[in-house]
Structure formats: structure tokens, C-alpha cells
Structure 1
Amino acid sequence: MFERLFPRRKPQPEPLPQPNAQLALGALLVRVAFADDDYRASEIGQIDRILAQTFDLGPIEAAKLRAVCEKLERHAESTEEFAQILREEVDYADRKALGDAMWSVALADGHRDEKEEIQLNAIEIALGLTDLDMQAARETALKSL
């Protein structure tokens, strides 16, 4: 009876922020972790550490940033949008370091996954990294396993 008198309204979703370099990086890190459909705490922790270190954030701020990046990643259709932002705003050496950071997320759970590697390769290409730099990042990352 009360439901008819006072119907519940679904809360309006908050609008997503316009992506910038910080959000684009976070969204791509999340995209790598989601690629294998197994988003683990170890990957979440690694993303938070990367965001905290890269942007000089505390743990709570990094976790909040990651949460926003997760929403952006879910609603973005392509990797290219985020990569374009990073290509425009981040110099090559720093984009190369982002590729290394993404490998650390992909391997944070302690094993290789083909879906994550395919996603990561697509991101590295979209970031404009050279084949030589992509291979070096992969070899370095796999040595840590």
C-alpha cells in the first residue's frame, strides 16, 4: 500500500567527469585488470599504488580516484579516447613508464593471462609506443614473475 502512495525513485546517476590525463591513466589501468574478467584485490592494490605514486596522493585519495576511473572505464567504448588524452598530455618517456605500470597491474595476481596481454598490447599501441619499447616492457615485467 505504501509503495503505491510513495513509490521509490531510483537515484539519478552522477554525471561522469570529463576525462583528463589522470582519469585516462586510471581508466586504462582498470581496463587491463578487467580484461580477464577477474578483478582481484591484488590488481586493485597495484592500481591504487600506481595512482598514489604518480599523482602524489594518499591511499584514500588514490582509492577514490580509482573508483571514478572504474566508472569511466565501464562507460567508455574504446581505449583510443583515453590513449589520445595521454598522447596529447604526456611525453613519450612518461607514456613508456605507463606501459611498464600497466604490466605491473596485469601481473599483480601472480600469473599471465592472454586476455590481459592482448588488452595491454592494444593500449601500448594506442599510446604510440614503439615495438622495441613494448617488447622491453614485456620482458622486464615477465622477469618479475
Structure 2
Amino acid sequence: MFENLLRRLLSPAPEILPDPDARLALAALLVRLARADDHYDAAEVQRIDAVLRARFGLSPFEATRLRGQAEVLEEEAPDTVRFTRAIKDHVPYEDRLGVIEALWEVALADGRRDVDEDGLMRLVAPMLGVEDADSALARQRVEARPR
């Protein structure tokens, strides 16, 4: 189902991802982060759907459908290194800051910082080419939001 997207994500010569593929790639990265601690709960699912609705202007149904597709892609996708490198190659820095903020929203969806999710965030931010300081600022913005 996702062979074309995976092929584009992993090609040595980066292509511009079409908007639907870029959405799916981000959604799959959000799912990967939520599953990092082997505990994928309702709060994380709801947060992913909320991020997708806000970021892409989707209806609740569209966000749920996109997340479902992302769950399948996340299972089929290769390691995080190649996956995030592909996103880095296709997304401008300013938008990658938004990706990091969205990832922090999911990581903090259950109201606590989990060591596995923290570890994946420390890995993913530099792989996306985002400075540690910018990632920390994104986390602080998310933590400051009312829940």
C-alpha cells in the first residue's frame, strides 16, 4: 500500500514529497514516537489526531483515517534514521521546528515525560537537523500550553 512513498522516502536522490505523502510521513513519525515506550494509549491517539487536524486543517474523520494509514506505514517503515533523514531532506527548517513541536505534543500527551520517548526525541531532533536548543524551546512551548 505504501510502497511508492517508502521508495521515495528512501531514494538516494531526494524528491519533493507531494502534500499527501508529507502528511503521511509526519503522521507516521508521530505514531512512531507514541509507540516508543511500548504503550500506545488513547491520550496519545487523541493528541495525534488533534495535531493532524490543526496542522493540516483536517476533519476529525480525515485525521483518524490519516492516523490509521500512518500506523500501518510506521510498522512497515525502515529504521527511524532513514525515515527522519528523508523528512529532513524534504521539509524546510521552519517546518521541521513545527514537526518537533508536534512530536513533543504527542510525547507529553499523557502528562509525563517517558524515558523512551525522551530518548527518541533526543535522537530524532538532530536527525531532522533541528538544534537541541530549538527542540528544548519547542518542548517548553508545549509544556506551557494548558491541557
TM-score (norm 1): 0.81
Partner residue of 2:4?
18
Give the CA deviation at 1:63: 0.6
Partner residue of 1:136?
137
Where in structure 2 are the equivalents of 1:75-114 lying within 5 Å? 75-114=76-115
d(CA) in 2 for partners of 1:82, 1:24: 8
Give the CA deviation at 1:71: 0.7
d(CA) in 2 for partners of 1:122, 1:79: 9
Give the CA deviation at 1:134: 1.8
Give the CA deviation at 1:86: 2.1
16-25 or 99-108: which moved more? 16-25
Partners of 1:99 and 1:124 within 8 A in 2: yes
d(CA) in 2 for partners of 1:86, 1:54: 16
Q: Secondary structure at the match of 2:4?
A: coil
Q: Deviations over 1:78-111 (max 9, x none)?
A: 1133323322222111101110111110110111
Identity %: 40
Q: Which runs of 5+ in 1 are unaligned?
A: 1-14
d(CA) in 2 for partners of 1:117, 1:65: 25
74-83 or 52-61: which moved more? 74-83
Give yes or no for the alignment of 1:41 onto 2:42: yes
TM-score (norm 2): 0.80
What amino acid is aligned across from residue 16 of structure 1 in structure 2? F
d(CA) in 1 for partners of 2:48, 2:40: 11
What amino acid is aligned across from residue 18 of structure 1 in structure 2? N
Sort the Cα spacing of 1:69 and 1:17 in 2 relative to 1 into closer, same or farther, 3 A: farther
d(CA) in 1 for partners of 2:126, 2:68: 25
What amino acid is aligned across from residue 127 of structure 1 in structure 2? L
What amino acid is aligned across from residue 82 of structure 1 in structure 2? F
Give the CA deviation at 1:140: 3.3
Q: Please give the root-mean-square deviation of Cα atoms over the aligned residues, in Å.
A: 1.7
Q: Secondary structure at the match of 1:18?
A: helix
d(CA) in 2 for partners of 1:70, 1:28: 9
Q: Which runs of 5+ in 2 are unaligned?
A: 6-20
Give the CA deviation at 1:17: 4.8
Give the CA deviation at 1:16: 2.5
Q: Deviations over 1:122-143 (max 9, x none)?
A: 1111110012212222333444
